[in-house]
Amino acid sequence: MSDTKQNPGAEPLESFETSFPSSHKVFVEVEHGPWILRVPKRRIHLSGDESALDVYDTTGPQGIDVTKGVPPLRKEWIAARESGGGSNVSQMHYARRGEITPEMTFVAEREGVSPEFVREEIASGRAVMPCNINHPESEPMIIGRKFLVKINSNIGNSAVSSTIQEEVDKLHWSVRWGADTVMDLSTGDNIHETREHIIRNSAVPIGTVPLYQCLEKVNGRAEDLTIDLFLETLEEQAKQGVDYFTIHAGVLLRYVPMTADRLTGIVSRGGSIMAKWCLAHHKENFLYTEFERICELMKRYDVAFSLGDGLRPGSIKDANDEAQLAELKTLGELTEIAWKHDVQVMIEGPGHVPLHKIKENVDLQREWTHDAPFYTLGPLVTDIAPGYDHITSAIGAAIIGGHGTAMLCYVTPKEHLGLPNRDDVKTGVITYKIAAHAADLAKGHKGAQDWDDALSKARFEFRWEDQFNLCLDPPTAREYHDATLPADGAKVAHFCSMCGPNFCSMKITEDVRKYAKEKGLETAEAIQAGMQSKKDEFRDTGGKFYQPTNS
Amino acid sequence: MSDTKQNPGAEPLESFETSFPSSHKVFVEVEHGPWILRVPKRRIHLSGDESALDVYDTTGPQGIDVTKGVPPLRKEWIAARESGGGSNVSQMHYARRGEITPEMTFVAEREGVSPEFVREEIASGRAVMPCNINHPESEPMIIGRKFLVKINSNIGNSAVSSTIQEEVDKLHWSVRWGADTVMDLSTGDNIHETREHIIRNSAVPIGTVPLYQCLEKVNGRAEDLTIDLFLETLEEQAKQGVDYFTIHAGVLLRYVPMTADRLTGIVSRGGSIMAKWCLAHHKENFLYTEFERICELMKRYDVAFSLGDGLRPGSIKDANDEAQLAELKTLGELTEIAWKHDVQVMIEGPGHVPLHKIKENVDLQREWTHDAPFYTLGPLVTDIAPGYDHITSAIGAAIIGGHGTAMLCYVTPKEHLGLPNRDDVKTGVITYKIAAHAADLAKGHKGAQDWDDALSKARFEFRWEDQFNLCLDPPTAREYHDATLPADGAKVAHFCSMCGPNFCSMKITEDVRKYAKEKGLETAEAIQAGMQSKKDEFRDTGGKFYQPTNS
């Protein structure tokens, strides 16, 4: 591996145009009250008479000065609401009052549904729109089982390596390839400053695990953590504009011993910190006992809960065990409390789960946490492939997404082994876009099938350039093609590199179809009636499979 | 991409020891009649007192002179049977006579079941053991829903590129990483010679699509194909030792028009060739009408049928359509005919199928083809990710494997774009081992869980070297780890690179567990009773999460 890849901050990111040739950003304008909302899409232009394809776009404003950050898209919307003077500014609060916010109208256009439908889903708690009032730069997006499946990428420095510039680059790189939200999991020095840079430059919601910063403040002594310190840290981060907090309030004292006989104990960092606190004090988790105080804070900024699964399984062996399920039930109890305050909630899920136990996770999550959006890490369906855990987990992610999980937290090839570099981030995001899109197809989401059909049609018609441009990762597809057939002529050739000209099944099929249509032979009966007499005529043309067009 | 990777024949393959550090091949000796069968396994040695883990091994004899080929393991077994003078030498024939062959005993040891169980599965048609009497070099293996899920890799030159040496290297590289069978899909020059080199050097069954060579013989004019030419080609390949033939006998004349309105028509090469033949002659597919003549030939060599799905869908849109399902029904009819001759059969399946339509494929295949083993290509669960189709298809492969599909045909990252190089072959094989193993876990196959548990235990106990050695791809795991923490000291450190020393959840959990055990606090009740009095004691130790061991 080259040094430049290990130190990606040294190289500028490739441009939007390099990543997506023949694409450009378009903005659909939607009126909402006094405002014109400009909803971004990526338009993929195709050759000839083919219609362009518009796809969901997470890339955010381009060409922005990192020291200045992206424009505050929502600033006026938020200000207009604040003039109302309410102490609860959550989207759920407005939704439950019957109010359709500009944010709801915005996501309605993005998702191809009505604003009223968005409002209902948020009011019911089945969907979440993470949008802190102090993060006006964010382009509204929604997370819920009735919407497109979303993906999250994790970035963040640790004590061991990486710089702020690298983290902002990872943010931009994540959203370039399709990350819908980004979690800043920094744990080392400069935690506040790193986060500030990330939020000011992010057009997607940012999540954090505030416990990590709290622990820095007490020099790593878990037993010194207090609710006051925790609330102070939440306030600090909420003021910066963090859109959702992972909070491990379901790790109860009585659940900790349930993990003692596990193969891999407690693998969640937050979970193990809170477990240690509980044992040291022999008290109940203060995040649980003081949960309503946390709710009071969250609603003043509209920060959403991502209720953490601190007792998630860390191995196939531990999947769906007593500790995991006990915590899940508690998360359901906490969900009801948060909803009482009109605070938005999603529920985090595992982790490591074999294929046959995945659906049970979704079924129990829906039942016990009242259909709050589920947000899962993978799950990995086997433990034996470190180095390929983006794949082991994408298998589980696609399946759990197909069952209705609303957001999938990505895993990179470096999971369990080291910190992801820029290439790993891209691989993780693309892999999770695959899982999310596969789930969208299975759920029959409007528009998802169109993308597949456009690409398959381009493939069948030998429109190579269109095929590349329609890919999730156009540069890689082109590079792979060119590795075998680099000549420009090959991109218009009526055969592909796998089979050579005499064996191209698509060319043969095209001939079959054309022949059948010319002769009006579109049904089996017609063939029976008409083919025999035409046989000799066909043979007289030479009957060759392939008449080269460019030789 | 470097030139050497595009021309892998130029570089020798890395050694078995480089691929699998701390592994060596062991042979379990099993008596069968006058013979001692030596069944290969790969033994992964672990550190300290940990037991070694034996895993299924496909790598075959090492250090063999390619010009001489691997030793003919089954030569005496076959000769002893031939002295019986039977005209049907298929394993199914013996199984149905109640005879347990050495091959059956061999796979019983490999799979951890009884020889009688193997015999029953083969006799019933639920499992297939491809082992041509002219391929005595093969180590017997079995394909069936009650056994470990198998994977196939495709190699083969085309008119466009690649050499014989490259193809033999791809064979060795495929089995190194776990391919259970290999298909030689060569279509260009030297087709006979390439195949000869592959078979003589292969300890795994080799499959082919004989139609490709037939078409070479008629200079690409499909309408000149005849059953006699086809049988002559089958005989040529059967004499060389091909273990299974893909035969597209289910592409019936009346099914061809069902594809006219498809988004992507007929994408199978064999399927489109036969469709063209049918239309040109206005006759029924000769592979169907003369199927019994083919069976007569197959049983004289014990070549297994892999009944091809010539009308498989080439896009998500076309999945599970009329043409695909019509052909599947016909494959069931042909299965019954083959079984009448005691010829072994497996059924090929798609292709491109969205998540929610995968199970239907397995359900209909089981019902209509009488539980013959299912052998699927992927399926890809979306069309929008060329360059990542190993992943899009591994998602479908894991799911369909979990539902009982017996063998999964790999897909490489170059699928739809170009010819795979050596790296692509490895990536494809490893990705499919993940899918197959995930399915084995879901099916509860004996031994599958042990591997995951061994790796997870090593991870939890910070035995980094063991963790690498237990991976499907040890060198890649080690490289990824070393990219972040290259010092040797890091491999014995009690923290991993993701979190840094103060945040290691595994270390914390270890402490929690140790503490709980020391104090006898293994239940929630015990904690309630005992913790309070111990709290101060714990705090007095400093209560730090982490006491560095190597700083």
> Is the separation of the CB atoms in A321 and A286 below 8 Å?
no
Integer Cα distance of B450 and B446 in angstroms: 8
| A546: nearest CA partner in chain B | B220
Which of the 8 DSSP states describes residue A387?
T
- Smallest Cβ–Cβ distance between A279 and the set B472, B496, B512 belongs to B512
What is the number of other CB atoms lying within 10 angstroms of the CB of residue B170?
Answer: 29
B502 interaction partners in chain A (CB closer than 8 Å): 159, 187, 215, 220
B221 contacts on A by Cβ (under 8 Å):
543-545
Instruction: Provide Rg for chain A, Cα atoms.
Output: 26
Selection from B198, B215, B230 nearest residue A504 by Cα: B215
Spatial contact of B44 and B22, defined as CB atoms under 8 Å apart: yes
Size of interface A-B (CB pairs under 8 A): 474
Cβ atoms of residues A167 and A155 within 8 Å: yes
Total residues found in chain A within this entry = 551
Strand partners, B408: B151, B376
Name the token pair of B137: 């070099």
Interface test with A, best of B149, B381, B465, B544 (most A CBs within 10 A): B381
Half-sphere exposure of A449 (CA within 13 A, CB side): 14
Q: What is the DSSP letter of A7?
A: S
**Closest Cα of chain B to A36: distance in Å?**
33
Query: φ and ψ at B4, to 5 degrees?
Result: -60, -35
Q: Tens of pLDDT along chain B (551 residues)?
A: 333 344 444 588 999 999 999 999 999 999 999 999 999 999 999 999 999 999 999 999 998 888 899 999 999 999 999 887 778 999 999 999 999 999 999 999 999 999 999 999 999 999 999 999 999 999 999 999 999 999 999 988 755 556 777 788 889 999 999 999 999 998 777 889 999 999 999 999 999 999 999 999 999 899 999 999 999 999 999 999 999 999 999 999 999 999 988 999 999 999 999 999 999 899 999 999 999 999 999 999 999 999 999 999 999 999 999 999 999 999 999 999 999 999 999 999 999 999 999 999 999 999 999 999 999 999 999 999 999 999 999 999 999 999 999 999 999 999 999 888 889 999 999 999 999 999 999 999 878 999 999 999 999 888 999 999 999 999 999 999 988 766 665 565 555 555 555 556 666 677 667 766 665 554 444 444 444 443 344 344 343 332 233 33
Written as six digits, the tokens of A317 are: 């062996």
Which amino acid, one-letter code, is at B447?
G
Residues of A in contact with B470 (CB under 8 A): 384
Helix (H, G, I), strand (E, B) or coil at A429: helix
Q: Contact at 8 Å (CB) between B352 and B380?
A: yes
Residues of A in contact with B512 (CB under 8 A): 256, 259-260, 265-266, 272, 275-276, 279
Which DSSP helix (H) or strand (E) runs through A346? strand A345-349
Q: CA-to-CA distance for B28 and B36, rounded, in angstroms?
A: 10
Residue in chain A closest to B412 (alpha carbons) equals: A480
What span, in angstroms and rounded, lies between the C-alpha atoms of B375 and B128? 11
What is this model's ipTM?
0.92
CA torsion, points B443, B446, B447, B450, in degrees to nearest 10? Answer: 70
Close Cβ partners of A13 (under 8 Å, ≥ 6 residues apart) = A169, A172, A173, A176
* Amino acid identity, position B110: R
Residue with tokens 């003081």: A290
Report the residue of A19, A434, A521 to disrupt the B interface, i.e. the one with the largest count of B CBs within 10 Å.
A434
Closest A-chain CA to B477: A387
Distance from CA of B277 to the nearest CA of A (A): 10
Tens-digit pLDDT profile for residues B26-46: 999 999 999 999 999 999 999
Query: Which residues are B208's β-sheet partners?
Result: B184, B245
**B306 beta partners:** B246, B346
Are the beta carbons of A459 and A467 closer than 8 angstroms? yes
- What's this model's pTM, rounded to 2 decimal places? 0.92
Rounded to a whole number of angstroms, the distance from the CA of A483 to the nearest CA of chain B is: 7
Mapped onto helix, strand or coil, the DSSP state of residue B155 is strand
Q: How far is CA B398 from the centre of its chain?
A: 12
**B496: alpha, beta or left? (left if phi > 0; alpha if psi -120 to 50):** beta
